[in-house]
Amino acid sequence: VDIDWEFPASKTQGENFYQIIKGLRAALDDKATALGQNYKYFLTAALPAGPANYAFLDLAKINQRLDMFNL
């Protein structure tokens, strides 16, 4: 699954973006477990380049949930 939200423009939107990623990561992991699969579904997101563009994103938290960033 690839998330393409261009781009969170406030602290609230940044937190909402993280909550979506967090929920999707949990759902994908739960689905793999329920199906007895021993692999991980990929979760990626398109993220903006440049400090002014990612100012409202908590990259440390997001990094814990995503498999890859697309810039």
Give the pLDDT confidence score for residue 64 in this predicted structure.
96
Q: Cα(68)–Cα(45) distance, rounded to whole angstroms?
A: 7
Q: Which two tokens stand for residue 58?
A: 């908590």
The active-site residue, picked from 6, 39, 51, 52, is 6
Q: Cα(71)–Cα(51) distance, rounded to whole angstroms?
A: 13
Give the pLDDT confidence score for residue 7 in this predicted structure.
84
Q: For each successive 10 residues of the chain (71 residues), what is the average pLDDT?
A: 90 96 97 90 93 91 95 86
Q: Which helix (H) or strand (E) holds 44?
A: strand 44-46
In the residue annotation, 6 being an active-site residue is answered as yes
Give the pLDDT confidence score for residue 16 in this predicted structure.
96
Give the pLDDT confidence score for residue 50 in this predicted structure.
87
Q: Cα(66)–Cα(18) distance, rounded to whole angstroms?
A: 10
